[in-house]
Amino acid sequence: MAKKGQTTPPAVIGPAHDPDSLYHQMQPFLQWMLEKNYSPRTVDNRELYLRYFIQWCDERGLTRPQEITRPILERYQRHLFLHRKKDGQPLSTRSQGTRIVPIRAWFKWLTKNNRILYNPASDLELPRQEHRLPRHILTSQEADQVLNVPDAQTPMGVRDRAMLETFYSTGMRRMELIGLHQFDIDYERGTVMVRQGKGKKDRMIPIGERALAWIQKYRDAVRPQMALAQDDGTLFLTNQGDAFTPNRLTQMVRDTINAAGIHKKGSCHLFRHTMATLMLENGADIRFIQAMLGHAELSTTQIYTQVSIVKLKEIHTLTHPARLQRLQTAHTDAQMSEDTPTPQGEPEDPAAALLAALDAEGDEEAED
């Protein structure tokens, strides 16, 4: 599929005029995904990984889906295992699996639509995933160091501080912050509506008073100077008056972390890791963190029951370290446990599973 803003069509891989080639059989699959309401970003990612596979096949004289067998797919898996990135590092098991999933989905679709007689990928196993904890987390003191870097006496400084405070307070994803609109912030209730998050799901989450104060300052004093005549309502704008691109936002956050003298890897996702970890350390229940992050389920846990925004806001206020004023009362872990029933069948260490899922998200974001 042609990417947004492309002026020339993407290069054809393999026989250009063979309608039954791997490349030409990929196109209707991608179109089907769009028709089934997969997000354009998901479709683009799957096309990228399928192109890697088709290129690998073409280099070995394999040009049609009918020529792909289970042993060939296993050879490709071994190729991914042995592959080295530009920095000499191997692909993580998560990245290897990410490249195999689109192939399995594609061959399932080809079989279902009678384009091939059998599915060679039907029993293809994904690499066993590592359960890693996040590698880099900011302490609350380090987070404050980063947040204090932007010069609040300048318009750009106010904007950057508001964006960093939003990341830190909510733990939202990079694309979710980019997509925020002015009307998504409810200043009275202290909540923010994340629209069309991962999986095209909306969710309402709490946001702290300190972050709201900076957003209000940016909204009232800075944003009117940046907005163009045809303002679409995007909350955070560049100095050209348009929405941030993912790379530009990542670079802004990375530059700020460096300027704070913090030598930890990561950018936008570092704040997502940090928010979840610090709230867990301060006693927040795993289910409330899950609701904040927008995780429908974790690979090692059941789907948790939904929690109300009122309770979620209360837990956020009690456990998130970024506040305008320190609370005078403290809730113990026992009190929080009484308020929140334990789900049946929960694993021994769901917090570790959630943090491992966060680390996997960071790997995906780094590849974008």
Which are the catalytic amino acids?
A: 173, 198, 269, 272, 295, 304
Separation in Å, CA 356 to CA 107, 279, 330, 353 = 29, 16, 29, 5
Residue 247, Cβ density class (10 Å: 0-12 exposed, 13-18 middle, ≥19 buried):
exposed
Question: How far is 344 from 290, CA to CA, in rounded Å?
Answer: 16
DSSP percent split of the chain into helix, strand, coil, nearest 5: 50, 5, 45
Q: How far apart are CA 43 and CA 4, in angstroms?
A: 12
In the chain, what's the furthest Cα-to-Cα distance? Answer: 73
Partners of 192 in beta bridges? 185, 205
Residue 24 near residue 32, CB atoms below 8 Å: no
Q: Retrieve residue 11's tokens.
A: 């290069």
Beta carbons of 360 and 129 less than 8 angstroms apart: yes
Query: The tokens of 118 are what?
Result: 């059998």
Per the CB < 8 A criterion, the answer to whether 253 and 167 are in contact is yes
Residues 190 and 313: beta-carbon distance below 8 Å: yes
Mutual angle of helices 155-170 and 246-259, in 10-degree steps: 100
Rounded CA-CA distance 361/290 in Å is 14
